[in-house]
Structures are given as structure tokens and as C-alpha cells.
């Protein structure tokens, strides 16, 4: 089923967007633009607003680019980017680490961090009394069946002197946070930038356990922008032009979050406006945070998380960190 859906997605990319990197005359203007495809990691959300804004404000056009943004049907963007079915994709440090350490390694590389620090963690309704990882004891966790989830919960509980055997793990798939904790489980994994601020909007009090508060190695980059090694080798200027325009988009988001979110809502009108605005305001301080420039990544962040994964046998071999990410295509500050 997965292979079939990926095949259909690849066909649709060619039918609706043309060959990756093709040059065409922009309709009605005669301007020569290079058409490229960006593959998202999930449904359009406030993590992606900088991309939509760069498109709507003409920043990509200024760099000679016409950008098509597509949501993959399933499975994320890494495999498709490695196969050349898009120039750039949205991924996350965990996926890139897996991709580069499997037996059939995927030659993808992170070229920018969309958010500077991990904003994810475990959330629960306040009345469940889950204030620390030890409080997972006797409670039900709802997730999507990933070995990473089990390792994460176990590590946090052990750091907090909790007994992992006393928490129950349930696979609930893609059920949203509010439905899952009201009807099925006690706690689940969320990104505060969406579900956390949504809880505030809905006046739904939660307890939130930020991962790096209990283990600094869990302050990893999520999400990131990726490209294939082949593209970066053969078309380095394309990567620089793309990131120059994208940086302008995210800088605008940081300076004008409420105005910026309109670009997302225009392209994803089904998005809840109030939550999107609150989320965008929250992320405005997270996109760059304490980094010298938007998108910049640190070797120690990649190394610490990869070592954490390797020690827990989540990956079969140690990650070549310098092959997994680069800052060299980002515009100078």
C-alpha cells in the first residue's frame, strides 16, 4: 500500500508540476523562472508559513524561482527527495538520522533548521496529575507505534526514577490530541507550537513535559529543510537562492506573525484561524531563538541526539554528523 501511494504521488508530481528544476516562461510575463518542488512533512501548518510567505511575497520570484509546495500522501519527504522527486523537503533530525544510518542509506542532508529548539513533549489534561515523567506510572500513553516513542518514555522515566513497566503504551495512530486524551489515553506526544497553544485557546488546562528539561540530548532540530546530496553537489547556487528567499520568509514571520499567517490561511483555508494566529505568535520567538541567524544548526546538537539514538540501539551505526547537515547554503548574516 505504501509503495502504491508513493508511486501515485510521484506520478502526480510530474503531471501537475513538470520535471523538477525545469525552466519555463512565467505565464503572462515572459519571465524565465526555474520551477522547483518543495515537499512538506505533514499537513500545511504554522511551521511552514515562511515557505508560503516567500511564495506569496515574491521572494522566490526575486531569485528566479517558481515554487510548488506539495503535501506527500504518507511516509514523509526523505525518500522522495533522495529519489529526485522534489528539490527540497521538510523533514526532522530523527528522520535524517535514520535515513543516513540504514543499510540502504538515503543521501539526504539537512540545510536549515526551521525551529531552533525542540518544542515537543508529553502533554496530558491537568486533572490526570502527570507533572513529571515518574507520573507516567499507572497511566496510558497514546502514540503511533514508533520504537522512538518507547525509548523516549523509558529514558525520561528512568531519569525521573520512574518504573517504565508501570505505564501502558497504546497505538492510537493519527487521532488528534484532544480526542485521544478525552476518550482513549492519559497522555501523548505533542508539539507545543500547535496543540499546546490550541489548548490555551480552548481553555483546556494541560501539563506539559518538555523533553530537554529531562535530557539535554533531546533538544534536537524539528523540523528541518533537506535536499539530496546530488542537488547540493550539482546545483549549489539553486540551494543558496532557495534559502535566501526562504530566510526572508521566516524573518518576515518573526517580525510580523499575525500578518504572515495570512499566507498560510490562503493556501490552507481549512486551518483554524485563531489557533494559527496564536501559534504563529508563539513560533515567532522560536524560529531563530538564540541562534545568530535563522536556519543555523550546531554540530553538537546533531552529535548528541545521534549518540542518544545509537546508545539505545535505535540506529545500527553511528551517524557521520558532518555528512548529515550543513550551514553553508544559508545566506550570510
Structural domains of the chain, ranges and CATH numbers in brackets: 2-116+221-324 (3.40.190.10), 120-218 (3.40.190.10)
Contact in structure between 141 and 170 (CB atoms under 8 Å): yes
Q: Please list the alpha-helical segments (H only) found in 85-131.
A: 93-101
299-323 as b/e: b if 16+ CB within 10 A: eebbbbbbebbbeeebbeeebebee
Q: From residue 151, give the alpha-carbon distance in Å to each of 30, 93, 169, 211.
A: 55, 16, 12, 12
- The x, y and z cell numbers of residue 275, run together, are 489557533
- The x, y and z cell numbers of residue 329, run together, are 547554503
Instruction: Classify 173 as helix, strand or coil.
Output: coil
Q: From residue 183, give the alpha-carbon distance in Å to each of 125, 142, 167, 192.
A: 12, 11, 17, 21
Largest Cα–Cα separation, the chain: 66
Kindly give the confidence (pLDDT) of every residue in the chain, 333 residues in length, as a single tens digit, with 9 standing for 90 and above: 333 333 333 333 333 333 344 443 344 454 699 999 999 998 999 999 999 999 999 999 999 999 999 987 666 799 999 999 999 999 999 999 999 999 889 999 999 999 999 999 999 999 999 999 999 999 999 998 889 999 999 999 999 999 999 999 999 988 999 999 999 999 999 999 999 999 999 999 999 999 999 999 999 999 999 999 999 999 999 999 999 999 999 999 999 999 999 999 999 999 999 999 999 999 999 999 999 999 999 999 999 999 999 999 999 999 999 999 999 999 997
pTM of the prediction?
Answer: 0.89
- C-alpha span between 325 and 99 (Å, rounded): 12
- The x, y and z cell numbers of residue 152, run together, are 523516549
Amino acid at each position: 500500500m505504501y509503495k502504491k501511494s508513493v508511486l501515485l504521488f510521484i506520478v502526480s508530481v510530474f503531471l501537475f508540476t513538470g520535471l523538477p528544476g525545469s525552466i519555463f516562461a512565467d505565464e503572462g510575463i515572459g519571465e524565465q523562472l526555474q520551477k522547483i518542488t518543495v515537499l512538506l512533512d505533514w499537513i500545511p501548518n504554522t511551521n511552514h508559513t515562511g515557505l508560503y510567505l516567500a511564495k506569496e511575497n515574491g521572494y522566490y520570484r526575486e531569485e528566479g524561482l517558481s515554487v510548488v509546495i506539495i503535501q506527500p500522501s504518507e511516509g514523509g519527504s526523505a525518500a522522495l527527495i533522495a529519489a529526485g522527486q522534489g528539490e527540497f523537503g521538510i523533514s526532522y533530525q530523527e528522520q535524517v538520522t535514520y535515513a543516513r544510518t540504514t543499510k540502504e542509506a538515503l543521501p539526504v542532508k539537512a540545510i536549515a533548521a526551521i525551529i531552533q529548539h525542540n518544542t515537543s513533549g508529553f502533554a496530558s489534561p491537568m486533572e490526570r496529575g502527570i507533572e513529571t515523567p515518574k507520573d507516567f506510572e499507572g497511566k496510558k500513553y497514546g502514540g503511533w507505534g514508533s520504537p522512538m516513542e518507547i525509548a523516549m518514555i523509558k529514558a525520561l522515566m528512568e531519569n525521573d526514577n520512574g518504573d517504565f513497566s508501570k505505564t501502558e503504551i497504546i497505538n492510537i495512530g493519527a487521532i488528534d490530541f484532544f480526542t485521544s486524551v478525552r476518550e482513549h489515553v492519559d497522555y501523548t506526544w505533542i508539539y507545543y507550537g500547535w496543540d499546546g497553544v490550541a489548548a490555551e485557546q480552548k481553555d483546556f488546562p494541560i501539563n506539559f513535559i518538555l523533553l530537554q528539561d529531562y535530557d539535554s540530548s533531546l533538544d534536537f532540530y524539528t523540523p528541518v529543510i533537506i535536499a539530496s546530496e546530488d542537488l547540493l553537489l550539482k546545483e549549489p547556487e539553486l540551494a543558496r537562492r532557495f534559502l535566501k528567499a526562504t530566510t526572508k520568509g521566516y524573518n518576515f514571520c518573526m517580525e510580523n506573525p499575525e500578518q504572515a499567517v495570512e499566507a498560510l490561511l490562503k493556501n490552507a483555508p481549512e486551518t483554524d484561524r485563531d489557533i494559527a494566529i496564536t501559534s504563529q505568535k508563539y513560533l515567532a520567538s522560536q524560529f531563530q531563538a538564540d541562534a545568530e541567524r535563522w536556519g543555523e544548526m550546531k554540530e553538537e546538537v546533531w552529535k548528541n541526539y545521534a549518540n542518544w539514538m545509537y546508545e539505545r540501539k535505535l540506529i545500527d551505526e553511528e551517524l557521520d554528523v558532518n555528512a548529515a547537515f550543513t550551514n553553508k547554503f544559508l545566506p550570510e548574516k
